[in-house]
């Protein structure tokens, strides 16, 4: 058995993943996008889990909470944003979430990690006022929850401005202030202490170490080896970063980048500018990011998400092993196709192109929601409808110079002699396969001469070696090409 990125089936769109080990299983809680959705988080919460001994074996736990279960949302017209879950002092499991267009933070509870949660109320101040409703409150967005070793309950929430000129000046924008901390009573709902502001915003970070990576959203909290790790999405949007402290309620110091859904910081080609925004060295189409770290049997993994379908509303969870040094610091994880596999993929077999980890046009990649404005860029999409069991997810619109990368394969244990691709479209040229993004060895050249709406197969010899080898597919020619899968044969 192998596992890829995305680590869940290709019909599943679960971003904002919060991974937690409860008992002998790893559970991932997240919001729930819809394929080709019109806005974020349109579906009900579902859960997936895997045994801690085998992170390749993911199991669907079903719907764990519906939008209509919230008494303020009986019609289900308000989406539920990113949640988090913790086990309370009473042994029950508490789910925290926010509804669109509301300021409050909601709580649901269940006897098991992935059973059917039931609504129990708001997070409230000691006087019973919901957090978010007082004139001095900022909206508690994107909750992160930690029940500490000593039984104290730490809750984090909030959102910051992405630019200096977005500093809040009225009620509608007041939630854009910072990350906030509160300590909860054992009832998991009532604020015992706080709110306490945690991090500097844009325009006030000079000299703090947070410059250029100020807090934006996606509050998440972890504790490793006695140190608190506050993980969040920075003002860059595409990246998950972390800060550390010896205490849960402040003193956080910037640590670095954990994950970028454009592999920015790993290296790559050129600079892309879309609209008024510019980013350098983008190797995949970027948008917001949200996730966290989990420790499983002495190994650490970072969970984030990628963007598909030329929009920001169809996001899929991805995960990578990430490494901590002796000082407790993490190095940024590279995006790969093998993710939680525990090593490179087998050098023989059929692989869907949906597992590509880098994707770009000849001019590079950029911000995912600008793709609809141009025909020049490739993208991930599917033929099936939302949550169909076989959605045919694939790469669409490969044009001259476009590249898709798949990392990594073991061509030492199994060495292929032939590669075939399942393609469609109107194209005349070749798919060239290299082992590196730039100045790589040419491993195969697959002629492509098609004018077909149905999938067809093209093939060629391949010469690939090495225990950890990447495959970079670059199309050179006329027209546009969709690629469904590729097969490596001995």
Question: Stretch 79-91: mean pLDDT, rounded?
Answer: 98
Question: Stretch 372-390: mean pLDDT, rounded?
Answer: 87
Q: Is the pLDDT of residue 66 over 50?
A: yes
- Tell me whether domains 18-341 and 347-489 share a fold: no
Which is more confidently placed, 28 or 374?
Answer: 28
Query: Residue 92 in contact with residue 109, Cβ under 8 Å?
Result: yes
Q: Which CATH architecture has domain 347-489?
A: Sandwich (2.60)
Which residues are known to be catalytic? 16, 217
pTM as predicted: 0.96
Model confidence over 88-135: pLDDT tens digits?
999 999 999 999 989 999 999 999 999 899 999 999 999 999 999 998
Superfamily of domain 18-341: Glycosyl hydrolase domain; family 43 (2.115.10.20)
Model confidence over 123-180: pLDDT tens digits?
999 999 999 999 889 989 999 999 999 999 999 999 998 877 765 554 456 667 899 9
Band of pLDDT at residue 202, cut at 50, 70 and 90: confident
Model confidence over 281-300: pLDDT tens digits?
789 999 999 999 999 999 99
Give the bridge partners for 144, in sequence order.
156
Q: Can you give the residue ranges of every domain in the chain?
A: 18-341, 347-489
Model confidence over 206-250: pLDDT tens digits?
999 999 999 999 999 999 999 999 999 999 999 999 999 999 999
Question: Stretch 370-384: mean pLDDT, rounded?
Answer: 86
Question: Stretch 359-388: mean pLDDT, rounded?
Answer: 87
Q: Is the pLDDT of residue 279 over 60?
A: no
Model confidence over 310-325: pLDDT tens digits?
999 999 999 999 999 9
| DSSP designation for 80 | B
- On average, the pLDDT of the chain sits at 93
Residues of the chain above pLDDT 90, percent: 85
- d(CA 107, CA 434) in angstroms, rounded, equals 50
Q: Is the pLDDT of residue 257 over 80?
A: yes
């Amino acid at each position: 058995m192998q596992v890829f990125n995305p680590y869940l089936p290709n019909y599943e769109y679960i971003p904002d993943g919060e991974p937690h080990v409860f008992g002998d299983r790893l559970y991932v809680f997240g919001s729930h996008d819809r394929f080709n959705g019109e806005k974020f988080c349109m579906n009900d919460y579902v859960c997936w889990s895997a045994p801690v001994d085998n992170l390749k074996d993911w199991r669907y736990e079903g719907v764990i909470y519906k939008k209509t279960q919230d008494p303020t949302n009986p019609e289900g017209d308000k989406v539920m944003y990113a949640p988090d879950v913790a086990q309370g002092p009473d042994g029950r499991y508490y789910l925290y979430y926010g509804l669109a267009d509301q300021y409050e933070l909601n709580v649901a509870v269940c006897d098991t990690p992935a059973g059917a949660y039931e609504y129990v109320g708001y997070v409230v101040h000691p006087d019973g006022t919901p957090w978010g409703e007082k004139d001095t409150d900022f909206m508690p967005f994107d909750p992160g929850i930690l029940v500490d070793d000593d039984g104290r309950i730490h809750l984090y929430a909030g959102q910051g401005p992405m630019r200096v000129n977005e500093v809040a000046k009225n009620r509608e924008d007041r939630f854009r202030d910072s990350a906030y901390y509160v300590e909860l009573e054992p009832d998991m709902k009532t604020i015992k202490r706080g709110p306490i502001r945690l991090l500097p915003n844009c325009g006030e970070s000079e000299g703090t170490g947070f410059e250029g990576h100020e807090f934006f959203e996606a509050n998440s909290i972890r504790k490793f080896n006695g140190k608190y790790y506050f993980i969040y999405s920075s003002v860059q949007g595409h990246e998950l970063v972390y800060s550390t402290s010896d205490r849960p309620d402040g003193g956080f110091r910037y640590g670095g980048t954990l994950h970028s859904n454009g592999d920015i910081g790993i290296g790559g080609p050129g600079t892309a500018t879309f609209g008024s925004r510019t980013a350098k060295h983008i190797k995949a189409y970027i948008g917001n990011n949200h996730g966290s770290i989990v420790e499983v049997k002495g190994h650490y993994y970072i969970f984030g998400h990628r963007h598909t379908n030329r929009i920001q509303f169809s996001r899929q969870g991805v995960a990578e092993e990430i490494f901590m040094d002796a000082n407790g610091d993490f190095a940024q994880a590279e995006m790969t196709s093998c993710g939680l596999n525990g090593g490179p993929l087998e050098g023989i077999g059929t692989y869907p192109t949906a597992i590509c980890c880098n994707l770009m046009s000849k001019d590079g990649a950029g911000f995912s929601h600008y793709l609809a404005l141009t025909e020049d860029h490739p993208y991930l999409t599917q033929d099936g409808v939302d949550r169909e069991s076989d959605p045919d997810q694939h790469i669409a619109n490969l044009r001259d110079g476009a590249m898709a990368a798949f990392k990594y394969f073991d061509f030492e244990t199994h060495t292929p002699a032939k590669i075939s691709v399942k393609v469609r479209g109107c194209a005349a040229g070749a798919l060239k396969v290299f082992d590196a993004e730039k100045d790589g060895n040419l491993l195969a050249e697959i002629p492509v001469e098609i004018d077909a709406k149905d999938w067809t197969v093209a093939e060629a010899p391949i010469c690939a070696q090495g225990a950890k080898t990447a495959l970079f597919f670059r199309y050179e020619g006329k027209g546009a090409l969709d690629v469904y899968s590729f097969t490596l044969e001995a």
